[in-house]
Structures are given as structure tokens and as C-alpha cells.
Structure 1
């Protein structure tokens, strides 16, 4: 009962943060780097850099602004309301497909999502998803694409399942209340299901697609042109913070627990299911192209995008 109370309090705090924190960028000064992010373990490097004062040490002023979905981050970037964003890759490629000038300037992570189902439904295989109700954070987001990719690989039409959007921190409550049969979410809201409540982790995203690209760092064409030195400093810190996350899991779990209002034991478990990477590898690049092909098959992307259209890695440290 105590664990459930702590989780509920953390969720309320997070929802308040999401509702009232998203518009903080209106109050920052012009020399501030405004960074959009999602409440997710995927953004551990960002939270670590902020908590450890890594930006200040490099003389950067950084304002973190929470958003509810990756598409909201790309929209804000397109309107120059943020300078940098940490978000899932699929909203980015979709935006670029529609002539957005944002670019991916670094990787953030691979894997790190999962499917949770109600214990009461006794779901043991994907075929049992038919006629069930599942939640995704946002249509076209990386979790939605992964879920539909899983269905496609199992010859199941997505139209045979009721797929509905809901903000990730609220999913577990909806499942516990019996309103849905399952959901796909990002960490820590996957591992949290095993730790709190009676729901089961059906599958981690590594079981859907091993080492799949997930979140990336994006920036605007304006920021690249007007403040290239600041971008280089920011990405240098991103690489250093990613190294810290990979070598200091206990400290990272504590930072995430404080930032997201989650139980630290949940964070220790959740971090096991996220692969953190700052500098894209050739394998990562190849899987971006494969992911775009999947998006095309699902109707989320229309054009044949190239890596040159999607990536600009010239600002990363060499």
C-alpha cells in the first residue's frame, strides 16, 4: 500500500509539472538554450547534465521545458519556441517528411519501451491482442510505430485492435481501473507496472526489435546557424552526460527518481532496459533508414528520406 501511495503522489506531481510547466519558455531570456523534453528515463543524460551543473560549468544557460509528446516538441521547434529537443525519432522523421528544417544532431538511446498487459486477461501471445483496447502515448510516436510493427510482423491488422492515445504517466491507472487491456510506454512506466500493482510486462521493445533507434537530440535550423558554438558545447555535454549515465547507474537512478517523482527501485530496474548512446553508429544509421521504411508502410511517411536529410552530426565532438 505504501508503494502504491508513493507512486500515486509521484504521478500527481508529474502531471502538475506537465500541465503547468510546458509554457516556461515564455519567461526565459534570449541567451538561454530552451530544451524540450519528455518525462522519460530516455532523457537521463539531459537530467544528469542539469542536476550536476554541467551546463553552468560550460557557461551555458539552459531551461528545460516538459512536453507531453514528441510531436509537440517538433512543432515547438518548427515555430522556434525551443532551440533543442529530446524526443522519439519517428515524430522527427515525420516532420522532416513534411518539409520541417529540424535536424537530428545526436542520438540519445536505443530500446527502452515495453508493453504492459492486465494480469486479469491472461494474455500470453500477440494474437490475443485482437479485439482488445491498448493505449499508446501518441499516434505516430515511436511506441505507436513499434506496437504496429509488432502487429504487422504477426499478421495482425491494427484495425482489429482499439488503439487509443493517453499521456504515459496516466496509463497504469487506466489499466488498473479496467478501462483498457494494455499499453505500450517508455520507461520507467513499463518497469513500474511490475513493481507496483498487479499488471505484467508482456514484452520489452528489445523483443520487438533489438537495438532499435528510439530518442534523439534535435535542433532548429535557426539555432544551428545563429549559435553553432553553443550547440557544440551543448552536445559535448550530452556526450559526457551519456558516459556518466552508463558508468554511474546508482547516481543516475537517484537523479531520475527525484526528477520524475518515481520510486528509486523502479528506476534501478528501468535503467536495465534502456541502451544509452550519444554518437550514432553505422548500425544506428542503418536502422534509421529501416525505421523510415516501416513508417512508410504504416502511412506515417510518404517520401524516401536520406540520412543527409535527417542527420547533421557536424556539431558532435570528434
Structure 2
């Protein structure tokens, strides 16, 4: 039987491409009448640009990237919507074995605690400054990425100026571990399995995780070309339903071994299946042991696929904070309207799934898992705290920004 709709999607070789891979490979897309074609890309810039010029209808996308596109911060700025998140968490910060040795001399422990590892890193940076050594070089995957903003957040809250005290460069995630091993960078923030890869190759140590810097924090979204979405509302709704069913499948622990096998295939991430198991289990290898990180990667629980406008506005606040765009009402409106919970709600309401009662929330306010009002099934959110205790109120971005500076 022929498909009702054909959809072409770009993706990067990462754990959090899982929903797209599973939607195709486990038949969730086909059951919605979709022929879903997945195309692996080599960089986030290619993903962005090929979506803009019509090579892709939708894409596995960095959560801040659609906002940056709509703010005109990309060379081929095309309207892009984010009607669904592709999970929470999944990133970590990894450093070279040499840098880790220097950090342990300053009191760092292999517990992934962002506060103590940040203090140790600050001491290393300060000592290198006194010695007139070259600045440490850290890599992120794109200027408009959660990786860039969460790394900067952690550094700044630790008293390290990301623009003066270190150097930040851009690398595709699959190159991170090899660049670390070759001595081209001293550390990086990337999605899994590329942190586990560095540990497995014995060239790096994981020092903290996204799920500890900002609990229950967004990472990737489904980026959708607005022109295509407007012309194909039924196809988009069917895709959102297929991805939600894929998220449910990915969230079941009994499926994790099969998920790892699927993702490890040569057409997807092309790596050992074992590299995915730490993130899926929350048991993170740190070089000489394992640290349990609850909710390291959440594909479905705790509204992990809901496109919160408060997430979009936090990213916008970081874009402003680091000088990439001006704070004004028009830019804030653009960021707010980039995430489309209305499309998510319309597509998933017939399934009777848990839908939050609001489109935004105060980020960092939930200290523990909390039942909240919802349409459909019951819903538990959080915890969603920032490691430094800061709160983000999406209705008062200017107040939030006045409380930040380069050093935290």
C-alpha cells in the first residue's frame, strides 16, 4: 500500500536522533501513512541550510537553531517552527585526561558535580593565566546550540568568562573525541555517544552533564520548514503522532538494547552499540568508575516532547546574553512564537496523551518531581533546577538578564 505522505528528514548521528530513527525503523511512521526518509548529515550548519532551501521538510535540530533562524542569524534565514521536542538532556562536558589531572589537583572529584568541577576548572584557568599559558580550548557543535549556551552558563556561574578566559571553537560532534585525543582541544560539550566515546578511547573524562547543569532541560527539537508545515498540516500532525509513539517506545527500559542496536547501524550513528547504554541507563562512566545521573536522557517522560515556550525564551535570553542579538520586544515575540505547542496539542489530543495545562512555566522552580494539571493522562514534571539555584521567569527576561554578566 502506498503512503499518504512522503517526508524527508535530516539528522545528525547522535543518540537524540532516536525518535526519528525509531519512527521509521519500528513502523510508527508507516502506521500513520508516512514514508519517512532519513538523511544523515555531517554538520548542524548543513542541517539548517538544507532545511532552508527545501532539501528537507523537517529535521533533527538544535533547540535554539529555529529561533536563531527566525531572528535572521543564519545566512539563509528561513521561517522555521519547532512543534515538538525530541527529548530532554543527553549532553555532557568532557575534558582531556591532562586537563582532568590538573583539575583533580585543584580538588575536582569524579562525581560530575558541576559546582565543584567548575571551581576546580576556574583554579586551573587562573593558574594558566598567571603562567601566561595559552587559553584552554573547548569545542561546541554550533554557535546557536544548547551545547554552547549550557557550557557558557556553567563556566560563567563558575566565575570563568567564556569569551576571555578560554577559547570556544566549533566542531561536528563525531569529531570531538578524536580532536581531544589529538590534542587539538582541551574539552568539549556534545551529545551522546560522543562523550562515552572519549572515555572508551581513554582520551577524556566526563566532568559534568547537562542533566546536572539544568535538570530536565531541552536539547533537540523537530525543526520544520514553515512553508512546508503550512502546506502540509495533515502530514505534520501524522509525523508528530508517529514521533510521540516512538518516544514512548524509546522510553521503555526493555527496549534500550534494541534501540542501541538500531542507532549503532552504519546508516545512523555507526558506532559500537555499547556506547549508547550509559546515557540510556543513566550510569555514566567517568574513567575509573560509574556515576548514576537520574534522567540523563529522557525521550518521553515528564513532558519531554512538549515544546515549552519558556524553553524557547530561555534560549533567546542566552542569545541576548552572549551578544548575538539585541533584546527588544520584537525579537522576544519571534522567539516566543517559534515553538509551536498549538501544533503539538492539535496533533496529539486525539491520542489522549498527557498535555500540560500551560504553554510556559517558570524554569528552575521545581525542586522535585511534581504532578501538575494536564489534559488527558496524568503528568509529572521536574525537577528542573539550575545548578546555581537561579530561576528563569519567561515573563521577565530583562530582569533575568540584569542579574547576569560574563562572570556569572
- TM-score grouping bracket, smaller chain normalisation: 0.7 to 0.9
1:126 has 2:149 as partner = no
Give the whole-Å Cα distance in 2 for the aligned partners of 1:93 and 1:58: 29
How many correspondences in the alignment? 287
| Offset, 1:115 | 0.9
| Pairing of 1:64-83 with structure 2 (within 5 A) | 64-83=38-57
Contact 2:97 2:205 (8 Å CA) reproduced: yes
Of 288, 295, 298, the residue aligned with 1:275 is 298
Q: Which residue of 2 aligns with 1:22?
A: none
Contact 1:190 1:270 (8 Å CA) reproduced: no
Contact 2:91 2:191 (8 Å CA) reproduced: yes
Q: Which residue of 2 aligns with 1:292?
A: 316
Give the whole-Å Cα distance in 1 for the aligned partners of 2:336 and 2:152: 27
Q: Which residue of 1 aligns with 2:390?
A: none
- CA deviations on 1:72-112 (whole Å, 9 max, x unpaired) are 32332222221111111111111112274211111111111
Stretch moving more, 157-166 or 110-119: 157-166
1:317 has 2:348 as partner = yes
| Offset, 1:307 | 6.2
Of 256, 269, 278, the residue aligned with 2:263 is 256
Q: Which residue of 1 aligns with 2:28?
A: 54
1:222 has 2:227 as partner = yes
Q: 1:156 to 1:305 in 2, by over 3 A?
A: farther
| Pairing of 1:191-206 with structure 2 (within 5 A) | 191-206=196-211
Give the whole-Å Cα distance in 1 for the aligned partners of 2:216 and 2:157: 17
Write 1 or 2 for the structure with the bigger share of helix. Answer: 1
Select the structure of larger CA radius of gyration: 2
| Offset, 1:65 | 1.6
TM-score normalised over the length of structure 2: 0.66
| Offset, 1:308 | 4.9
Structure 2: give runs of 5+ residues left out of the alignment.
109-119, 127-134, 283-295, 350-408
Give the whole-Å Cα distance in 2 for the aligned partners of 1:63 and 1:304: 34
- CA deviations on 1:117-168 (whole Å, 9 max, x unpaired) are 1112222323135621111112222211211121222232122212122221
- CA deviations on 1:19-66 (whole Å, 9 max, x unpaired) are xxxxxxxxxxxx631101111101111111122233233332222122
Q: Which residue of 2 aligns with 1:85?
A: 59
Contact 1:35 1:62 (8 Å CA) reproduced: yes
Q: 1:71 to 1:90 in 2, by over 3 A?
A: farther
Of 89, 95, 98, the residue aligned with 1:117 is 95
| Pairing of 1:39-188 with structure 2 (within 5 A) | 39-98=13-72, 100-121=78-99, 122=101, 123=103, 124=108, 125-127=120-122, 128-129=124-125, 131-158=135-162, 159-188=164-193
Aligned-CA RMSD value: 2.1
Contact 2:62 2:221 (8 Å CA) reproduced: yes
| Offset, 1:306 | 5.6
Q: Secondary structure at the match of 1:61?
A: strand
Contact 2:29 2:239 (8 Å CA) reproduced: yes
| Pairing of 1:228-243 with structure 2 (within 5 A) | 228-243=233-248
TM-score normalised over the length of structure 1: 0.83
- CA deviations on 1:253-295 (whole Å, 9 max, x unpaired) are 11112231222221111223311145417xx432332222122
| Bigger relative contact order (CA 8 A; separation at least 6) | 1
Give the whole-Å Cα distance in 1 for the aligned partners of 2:156 and 2:333: 22
Contact 2:7 2:37 (8 Å CA) reproduced: yes
| Offset, 1:191 | 2.0
Q: Secondary structure at the match of 1:237?
A: helix
Give the whole-Å Cα distance in 1 for the aligned partners of 2:258 and 2:65: 31
